[in-house]
Amino acid sequence: MKPLFVLLGVFIISLIITFLLNGNPDYKFSGKLALSIMLLFTAIGHFAFTKGMSMMLPDFIPFRVQLIYLTGFIEIAAAIGIFIPALRTITGILLIIFFILILPSNINAAIKHLNYETGTFDGKGLSYLWFRIPFQVLLIIWTYFFVVK
């Protein structure tokens, strides 16, 4: 839920600031900035909660810790790439694919009742998916409208 608050909070603050500076809110810039800051925020989790996040992956996937680090770096690269005009569209498309690809890990973690922050099995369980799946859809739509389009 924290990434949602970061996304919406940065978006609203950025809209207010761009309105105060330009007389009009800059929705496109604010949307990209909010997504970028949220990606940087979630990337921190890949390095701070590596053990728990690696437990989200199915057991048959090798090099799970390394994969968590890699996806953290991918999120950092995407946070930067959406502001580089020549890379914006491809970054957005790859980010949408990334959001689709990580959903099964979130489902797996919910089924296991995994709390990725503590690396224990006392998480919210399947009820978490009532938030996570719509949030994942929101991220895909957000990326399409603010980055790709």
pTM: 0.94
Q: What is the C-alpha to C-alpha distance for residues 133 and 147, in angstroms, rounded to an integer?
A: 21
Q: Which amino acid is at 45?
A: G
The pair of structure tokens assigned to 98 is 């990334």
In this prediction, residue 128 carries a pLDDT of 86
Angstrom distances, CA of residue 91 to CA of 3, 79, 87: 19, 9, 6
Q: Where are the domains of the chain?
A: 2-148
Beta bridge partners of 103: none
Q: What is the C-alpha to C-alpha distance for residues 92 and 36, in angstroms, rounded to an integer?
A: 11
Beta bridge partners of 115: 120
Average pLDDT for runs of 10 along the chain of length 149:
96 98 97 98 97 93 96 98 98 98 93 93 90 95 97
Tens digit of each residue's pLDDT (9 = 90 or more) over 74-104: 999 999 999 999 999 999 999 999 999 999 9
